[in-house]
Structure 1
């Protein structure tokens, strides 16, 4: 059976977290859509709050430690990424941005990404378009057309509100599944030079 690797990144800071709830629902929708195509989803869910210290250390030292190297490797090898952040000051959270800042340059090139966000008010829904989509587009990721924003009221909005949110989630999951199904995973070049020659020479004494 064909397998596609999906990495879900949740930047929620509390337990339970509405960001994690949205991330889980987007993941389930993507798994169902892949399953409908006869494709198995191999999912890894990452809680960034558990990596906060490692992310900050990597920002300062440029060296990932702890569990972070394994997570970054999975992100680089993903066929699809689901990225969900709470809204802080009308944008993504600092932890969310810092994590993707330490992802290796080029690792997201042509990788399908589904963006999601949660916040206390519907007025923050444009964060998907003015913050998240540009950030991943800059990284040359392939951002799916439908992003999903969930305000606090969406979780208890009655039958109509719940149906509207569910429709957005299912549509976004189908779009990510289609792109992930067609994603061509990059193969590592065994002859690729891991360290630039100039860098090697700079370490030689005279």
Structure 2
């Protein structure tokens, strides 16, 4: 008669770990196409991970809700509890989705100010999917010319495919057009592959 699994043997399943997936949106208007884009990417990420049997804790940080606190922390150095919680949420995320609207060819000022307050050491090797929104497709390069250098400086693992969306990429009801949906799927697929990295360390 064969012996059963020994205590601590490989036959015992490891305790499942919940992955923290956080979307950070720098949109300042309401309704916001930037929030619609992060919702699209976050929902697809959660769907992919859930289908793979991964437990997910998904959250969204709206930077505009912390705009006054960000300005105060930048100028005076005092951080509110709400801002501290938002920063910790980003710093402790396993996977990040970030998006900013384009202002004069770059990310929004409040988006940059928020990430100036994030602990850069906590960002090292953190997988990040970059996204942006703008009025026309001529702003597409903002992802590579502005967002990618910022997150490279912090040492993040940046998904190769960025997702840019202009007004033409949405329906009137803010549903993604097929080509935007397809690009989002490709970018999310790349982000989810990074989810295996912590287990290999």
TM-score relative to the length of structure 2: 0.86
Which of 20, 30, 33 does residue 18 from structure 1 map onto? 33
Gaps of 5+ in 1: 187-206
Asked whether the equivalents of residues 34 and 181 of structure 1 are also in contact (C-alpha less than 8 Å), the reply is no
Q: CA deviation at 1:90?
A: 0.5
Q: CA 1:155/1:42 → structure 2, altered by over 3 Å: closer, same or farther?
A: same
1:143 Cα shift? 0.7
- The structure 1 segments of at least 4 consecutive aligned residues displaced by more than 4 Å after TM superposition are none
- Is structure 2 residue 93 aligned with structure 1 residue 105? no
- Superposed displacement of residue 73, structure 1: 1.1
Gaps of 5+ in 2: 1-15
> Does residue 171 in structure 1 map to residue 194 in structure 2?
no
Shift in Å, 1:105: 2.7
Matched, 1:5 2:13: no
> Helix, strand or coil for the counterpart of 1:14?
coil
Of residues 132, 145, 148, the one that matches 2:160 is 145
- 1:31 and 2:15 aligned: no
- Deviation, 1:183, is 3.2
The equivalent residue for 1:86 is 101
Q: TM-score, normalised by structure 1?
A: 0.84
Alpha-carbon distance between aligned partners in 1 of 2:167 and 2:112, rounded to the nearest angstrom: 22
Aligned to 2:171: 156
Asked if 2 retains the 8 angstrom alpha-carbon contact of 1:108 and 1:139, the reply is yes
Aligned-residue offset at 1:2: 3.1
Aligned length: 183
Query: Could you tell me how far apart the structure 1 residues matched to 2:21 and 2:198 are?
Result: 11
Partner of 1:183: 198
**Is the CA contact 1:154–1:162 (under 8 Å) kept in the aligned structure 2?**
yes
